[in-house]
Amino acid sequence: MDFRPLDAWLERAVGEGRLPGAVALVARGGEVVYGRALGHLDPGKGLPMREDAIFRIYSMTKPWVSALALTFVEEGLLSLRDPLEKYLPEFEGLKVGREVGEEVVLEPLGRPILVYDLLRHTAGFTYGVFFRSPVKRLYLEAGVDRFDLSREEFLGRLTALPLRFQPGEAFEYGLSTDVLGHLLEAMAGKSLAELLNERVFSPLGMWDSGFVAQDPTRLAQPFSRDPETGRSIRLIPVEAEPPRYAGGLGGVSTAWDYLRFLEALRTGRGFLHKSLCRLLVQDHLGPLYEAGLRRGLEYTPGPGYGFGLGVAVRLGPGGLAPGSPGDFYWWGFAGTYFLVDPALELSALLFTQAPNLLSVLEPERALHSRLGQRLGLAFRTLVYGALS
């Protein structure tokens, strides 16, 4: 294995000021074959990066909550066919906002939202901050994407908004995992933080994972200003308990902790039965993938990828970077990325804190960004190149 090209790429990204610092890990068959920490933990203070740095992982919190939900399914306490309103009755009577030009025309639900819809992002919930549409504008105006809302404020604002699609009609990446986390809290009578610690983190020895950076001196920091837009960078505060446990974006972890989680999913050993691990990483979109392609890339997890129960799943040959049918990946807005290729017994992670602000502030220019998903594609290509 030759990881010199990966080393050179990482050093160039840090040296050119695109990344403040990074931690990268690659494992084959459960053995770490590459590990590198470089650049700065805190560029403002000049502190060097460390292997045990704690990162805000944003959407990479979602696979945690998906796996947590399946632990309840495994025990027969939860069914994927359970309606959302069984646990959170305030979601009964939602409307769908059919977009007609710039107008939003309300229509009744065709069927209830199921737990299954929350896991595969077919519930109809959206995000206001990514892309543009009339329903997304309502989300922005309501401020439902904000991180500083209490659980009650979040649920109150969200239940007053229409869905963008009928449940089961389309893949629509959005607030579904946040809702799933609050459903699990209501069902179990414990906080999402407690549930994850009891059922996922403690069994796997993930001592630095959660919703609070227990050692702020190890918290990785971004540049003060985005190198692409010049705008100030503000990431979610994780030094103290949050106003609510946001299952879709609130987590922190180290690369080593997250590797333990990925290896547990890959092998089916650690906290969840192998059959449920396989269920999580299989495609669950089916024909919705082709329908999404016809609408545009906004409606798919990426070229060549369907979606499982919290991760993107490779459908077959093709795509924008090397891989195997059945490999799965996900990423976080602040610059974290992982991939798992079960056929090659491969797990790999790149953790940095360099959000792609173009995707939010200037989405028409996002394809020109050298950050965001492009980082993951380059990292993936170099990892596979090293293996061959």
pLDDT per residue over 258-311, tens digit each?
Answer: 999 999 999 999 999 999 999 999 999 999 988 887 787 666 788 889 999 999
Q: To which residue do tokens 């990514």 refer?
A: 130
Q: What pLDDT is recorded for position 378? A: 96
pLDDT per residue over 54-69, tens digit each?
Answer: 999 999 999 999 999 9
pLDDT per residue over 152-192, tens digit each?
Answer: 999 999 999 999 999 999 999 999 999 999 999 999 999 99
Domains of the chain: 4-61+191-387 (3.40.710.10), 74-185 (1.20.58)
Query: Which residue type is seen at 343?
Result: A
Q: Residue 380, SS3?
A: helix
Query: Which residue type is seen at 374?
Result: R
Q: What pLDDT is recorded for position 297? A: 67
Measure the CA–CA gap between 312 and 120, rounded to whole angstroms. 10
CB of 114 closer than 8 Å to CB of 80: yes
Element (H, E) at 160: none
% of the chain residues with pLDDT over 90:
88
Q: What pLDDT is recorded for position 329? A: 97
Catalytic residue (one of 59, 209, 347, 359)? 59
Kindly list the distances between the CA atom of residue 257 and the CA atoms of 165, 200, 203, 220, in Å, as whole numbers in the listed order.
36, 11, 12, 15
For residue 76, name the pLDDT band (cuts at 50, 70, 90). Answer: very high
User: At residue 371, does pLDDT exceed 80?
Assistant: yes
pLDDT per residue over 101-110, tens digit each?
Answer: 999 999 999 9
- 59 among known catalytic residues: yes
Over range 126-149, report the average pLDDT: 94
Measure the CA–CA gap between 379 and 164, rounded to whole angstroms. 34
Which tokens in the block code for residue 231? 């705008």
**Cα Rg, the chain, nearest whole Å:** 20
CB of 22 closer than 8 Å to CB of 350: yes
pLDDT per residue over 298-333, tens digit each?
Answer: 667 888 899 999 999 999 888 888 999 999 999 999
For residue 214, name the pLDDT band (cuts at 50, 70, 90). Answer: very high
Measure the CA–CA gap between 176 and 171, rounded to whole angstroms. 11
CA-based nearest residue to 265, from 183, 338, 335 = 338
